[in-house]
Structure 1
Amino acid sequence: MTTSDENGKNAAQTAMRTPPVVSPEEWETARERLLVKEKEHSRARDALAAERRRMPWTAVKADYMFEGPAGKASLLDLFDGRRQLIIYRAFYEPGVFGWPEHACRGCSMVADQVAHVAHLNARDTTLVFASRAPQDDIARLKARMEWDIPWFTLTDQFDADFGVDEWHGTNVFFRDGDRVYRTYFINNRGDEQMGGTWNYLDITPLGRQELWEDSPEGYPQTPTYKWWNWHDSYAPDTPPDKKWVEVSDAGEAAFRAESAKKKS
């Protein structure tokens, strides 16, 4: 016996104007046709990232301070010794819907999608979240939601100065010794793409740091795939595993051979 809710769902599904059902051969033809456009999109995205790496920088002159698990921390401290820093302004504080049990629903979805930060760290990049909630509340929230992202408390005008006092947003910074520069900013729907390692690296001034990228002369670059590792196996100044390099080389060779075969 069906319920009224099930009848409603069935009616809605019946009303959907779905695409035609075709043979496997016709489906493959349609997929290959769309793949051409998808590759154009990927190349355009790569070109945009290359242009982003050539954007001018602006110096950060104020001494911004935050509160972290270990106490007070400067903007420079947030880099944690790395050259690149990504700060996402998450709304978790009095006045935000869900407080104090939850952070903003949208910001929480962003946090849920963040990949393991060890991969970013391996590319000299630190990711942190920042909110106005006290550290005790942030620690409790992180434990409840099983988030491992470093999360700091805003204590001054940082959010107002960097466009995230009334709305979420992602700021990118670069450290040259003790000098800090703002290199990029994205908000609104731009934050939708954040969470994955590649997308985060694509908005940094150094990019993914792989040989295929179009980067300015002198930028650090290493062979594609070779730096990848299990998130619990990265170690500073440790060369890539020899076996993994061999596997990667074999995979790249096979890919090039298949691509050449399709073109011939």
Structure 2
Amino acid sequence: MQQHQIVSREQWIAARKAHLAHEKELSQARERLAEERRRLPWVRVDKNYVFDSPNGTVTLGDLFKGRPQLVVQHVMFAPDWDTACKNCSFWADGFERMVPHLAARDTTMVAVSLAPVAKLEAFKKRMGWTFDWVSSGGNDFNYDYEVTFTREQIDKGVPKYNFGTTPFYGPELPGISVFYRDEAGEIFHTYSCFARGLDMMNAAYQYLDLTPLGRHEDGLPYPMDWVRLRDQYEPQATKACRG
């Protein structure tokens, strides 16, 4: 950890106000970016995707639950895995209690994974989650929205992840896709984000960014090496982070 100058309260306020000006610049840039995002063109969804849910099969249109907007969190959970990806679960912990707030603004949020429903339900119970989670194991949804890749695609070495900007680092990768359903029932794909584009949706990371140590990931084999499933953290892990 770097050494910090110790100053008076008045000097700290002056430094904080200078930093506040930079924060306001970022906020204004973020607002401009959000407006630009809302102006992006849309793509009509022509495929009739059918998913497996705990209550039987449902279509992509059903997932909207009568609302015009749908946010899909692509959670990495391959059919032969026993648990979902620990990093995706880190995000899922964050949006678990967001669902009613999004619904109040005409937006439904669901998780989608390749694993069969029985595995999704078992893991959901273990984690104490209540959000809707459906299986795309019987359709091309994960492949079409580029979060699952075939061995042939990976062997070719031509990146398709994150719009071709990020090399493959596995057959299952994280993402978020957004859809709109109009009054006629037509569905449109309006937005997707991947890789570091998901960062802004992780509230825990945003809180860590406020602290002196930040994410404290320097020197790790990879940035999220420290992340565990919520029920796998050991009590002494907190002390280990202080070194």
- Do the two structures share a fold, i.e. TM-score over 0.5? yes
In 2, the alpha carbon distance for the partners of 1:118 and 1:111 equals 15
Matched, 1:171 2:187: no
Match of residue 161, structure 1, among 135, 144, 154 = 144
Residue 140 of structure 1: how far off its partner (Å) = 1.3
Contact residue 72 and residue 111 of structure 2 kept, 8 A: yes
Q: RMSD of aligned C-alpha atoms?
A: 1.5
Residue 67 of structure 1: how far off its partner (Å) = 0.6
In 1, the alpha carbon distance for the partners of 2:92 and 2:76 equals 11
How is 1:215-230 mapped onto 2 (pairs within 5 angstroms)?
Answer: none
Match of residue 94, structure 2, among 113, 123, 128 = 113
Match of residue 129, structure 2, among 125, 147, 151 = 147
In 2, the alpha carbon distance for the partners of 1:193 and 1:40 equals 17
Residue 75 of structure 1: how far off its partner (Å) = 0.6
Code of the aligned partner of 2:12: W
Hey, what does 2:189 align to over in structure 1?
A: 182
Hey, what does 1:125 align to over in structure 2?
A: 107
Residue 153 of structure 1: how far off its partner (Å) = 0.3
Structure 2: which 5+ residue stretches go unaligned?
Answer: 149-171, 207-243
How far does the alpha carbon of each residue in 1:122-145 deviate from its partner, in whole angstroms, 9 at most, with x for none?
A: 000011110111112111111110
Number of residue pairs matched by the alignment: 178
1:156 partner SS: coil
Contact residue 172 and residue 182 of structure 1 kept, 8 A: yes
Match of residue 90, structure 1, among 54, 57, 75 = 75
Contact residue 114 and residue 142 of structure 2 kept, 8 A: no
- The TM-score normalised by the length of structure 1 is 0.65
Structure 1: which 5+ residue stretches go unaligned?
Answer: 1-15, 200-264
Percent sequence identity is: 42
Matched, 1:32 2:17: yes
In 2, the alpha carbon distance for the partners of 1:19 and 1:109 equals 31
Contact residue 88 and residue 171 of structure 1 kept, 8 A: yes
In 1, the alpha carbon distance for the partners of 2:64 and 2:79 equals 27
- After alignment, is 86-95 or 138-147 more displaced? 86-95
How far does the alpha carbon of each residue in 1:67-107 deviate from its partner, in whole angstroms, 9 at most, with x for none?
A: 11211010101111100001111112344xxx31x211111
How far does the alpha carbon of each residue in 1:142-181 deviate from its partner, in whole angstroms, 9 at most, with x for none?
A: 1110111210000211111111113211110000131000
Hey, what does 1:193 align to over in structure 2?
A: 200
Structure having the higher Rg:
1
How far does the alpha carbon of each residue in 1:15-69 deviate from its partner, in whole angstroms, 9 at most, with x for none?
A: x432211111101100000000001100110110011111111100011110112
Runs of 4+ in 1 over 6 A off after TM superposition: none
